[in-house]
A and B are shown apart, each in its own frame.
Chain A
Amino acid sequence: MKVIINIIGSIGHKSLKFIANIGNFFLFCLSAISWIFRPPWYFKKIIFQVIDIGYFSLPVVGLTTFFSGMVLALQTYNGFTEFNSESTVARVVLTSITRELGPVLTGLMVAGRIGAKMAAEIATMRVTEQIDALSTLGTRPMQYLIAPKIIASVLCLPFLVFIGNTIGILGGYTIAIFKLDFNPDLYLYATIDNLQWIDLIQGSVKAATFGLIISMVSCYFGFNASKGAEGVGYATTASVVVSSVMILTSTYVITAMFFG
């Protein structure tokens, strides 16, 4: 009987802790957003973050979306030959990349690269008392550390998604022309003809949302890291896992908003 009570108690305790963490996260987000709009703004730090997120993420985003575009074109062609619908490859590649694959893959890559880096950096600062030191030196940690990262993430993700979409479509084009023997002009015409503003707008909304998710989640776990190397490790992995899950969840919500 005692064992059952202990198990139920443990489940209850973990549930309450989970709900408390969700509440703490939302309070953190509200606080962070409020500091974004209050001076002083650390423009130098924002610029450094934009370069780190927007420029240095280009290779990994480019590689991911290029090969994804290639695979998508190949698989679509193989699947659609059964229905003699090979000509729709361009449209399928374009729609899949701009609406889903481009933003989601870019978001996941940036979560793994930048999210982990943000969480590790801030967690290390937490466990080595650097965040406490900031407070004692007349600087607000949320304003100095967190706000620039959020601003840069929200600004850079749409740019990265745009580049990723372009490279992904190029990957599909490459396979279509050099392996599947499509006519280059016809393929290009089909791509441009099917491009819709709603796809681009939806992709940008997703990108900005993912940028917000990645920065908020990573900064939250870093800022609340417990003592020691284990705390830093936990913050880093938790930020990537939670960011990834939230990206996949929110992509459905946004898709439903636009096309539901």
Chain B
Amino acid sequence: MKTILDIKNLRKTFGNNVILENINFNLLEGESLAIIGASGSGKSVLLKNIIGLLDPDTGSIKINSTEMVNLPRKDKENLLLQLGITFQHGALFDSLRIWENIIFKIQNQQKISKVNGRKLALSIIERLSLKPEILDLFPSEISGGMQKRVAIARAICGNPKILLFDEPTSGLDPVTGSVIDKLIISAVKTIGASAITITHDMASVSRIADKVILIDNKTVSWSGTPKEMMTSNNLKIKEFIKTTNPKLFA
């Protein structure tokens, strides 16, 4: 299978503070990767390096075989259009209606009419089993769980090649979290994308991930499948497993 994302020897510091070093992993086409790690381990910094909000000090980030580091601004922006991202708290635009939020990326690339824009947004939310009634509401008028679902809808608009989810189930009850996980699986299958999910939620990991990497001590200290986590001797992995129901990984 083709490698869609390849990270080699990535290092990131803030002043004298080393956040990440010697980060190496890849993502295959159609694969779903979960990145786990303790709070403050650098998972969000890693995500921001991948999505171009931060530049690594050294190392390589290749998206679809194109090197992103030191790429000219315009080329980098075009490359990053292949990504679809959901942020931890949704990050929906308060002043835009739900349908305008969903089609925002497409609207800026190609001017589409209001009628066609609403139709496109409707087709996307129907794929994610969301109600059409929310289209004309503002983000402040829907619940937090609904905002996360709309954020997923916005991420998949435009059929990106890689979907990135930053703590998609944080702050949600287990039932809604399970719904979000199903949406992630459905979204990935619907558009045939690869996925990277940053999460603390081991129940989510068991449901959505084909592969897991652990960020610990500034680097990737373990990688494997969710089932391999059960028999791993890595102390951090054991701690993560202890917090959840081992039967999830059976």
Contact = CB atoms under 8 A, between A and B. Distances in A.
Interface of A: 124-125, 128-130, 132-140
Interface string B75-109: 00100110101011101111000000000110011
Given A136-B85, A137-B108, A138-B109, A130 B53 contact: no
The 10 closest A-B pairs by CB, nearest first: A133-B91, A129-B91, A137-B105, A129-B87, A136-B85, A130-B91, A139-B108, A137-B104, A138-B81, A136-B51
20 contacts: A124-B94, A125-B94, A128-B89, A128-B91, A129-B88, A129-B89, A130-B91, A130-B94, A132-B48, A132-B53, A132-B91, A133-B85, A133-B87, A133-B93, A134-B93, A136-B51, A136-B83, A137-B108, A138-B80, A139-B104
B52 interface: yes
A259 B80 CA distance: 54
Contacts of B51: 136
Interface residues of B, number: 21
Given A125-B94, A130-B91, A130-B94, 11 more contacts: A125-B93, A129-B87, A133-B92, A133-B93, A134-B93, A136-B51, A136-B80, A137-B108, A138-B77, A138-B109, A139-B108
A135 B53 contact: yes
A132 B87 contact: yes
Contacts of A124: 94
A140 to B, nearest CB: 8
A133 to B, nearest CB: 4
Prevailing SS type, chain A contact patch: helix
Contacts of A137: 104-105, 108, 154
A205 B165 CA distance: 49
Given A129-B88, A129-B89, A136 B104 contact: no
Interface in B111-150: none
A129 B164 CA distance: 15
Given A128-B89, A128-B91, A129-B87, A135 B108 contact: no
A62 B92 CA distance: 37
Contacts of B91: 128-130, 132-133
Contacts of B80: 136, 138
Contacts of B104: 137, 139
A125 B94 CA distance: 8
Interface in B50-87: 51-53, 77, 80-81, 83, 85, 87
Contacts of A132: 48, 53, 87, 91
B91 to A, nearest CB: 4
Interface in B15-34: none
Contacts of B81: 138
A126 B236 CA distance: 33
Contacts of A130: 91-94
Contacts of B92: 130, 133
Given A130-B93, A132-B53, A138 B87 contact: no
Interface in B148-165: 154
Contacts of B94: 124-125, 130
Given A132-B53, A132-B87, A138 B93 contact: no
B215 to A, nearest CB: 20
Contacts of A139: 104, 108
Contacts of A138: 77, 80-81, 105, 108-109
Nearest to A136: B85
B155 to A, nearest CB: 9
Q: Find the residue from A124, A129, A133, A140 having the highest chain B CB count within 10 A.
A: A133
B149 to A, nearest CB: 16
A184 to B, nearest CB: 48
Contacts of A133: 85, 87, 91-93
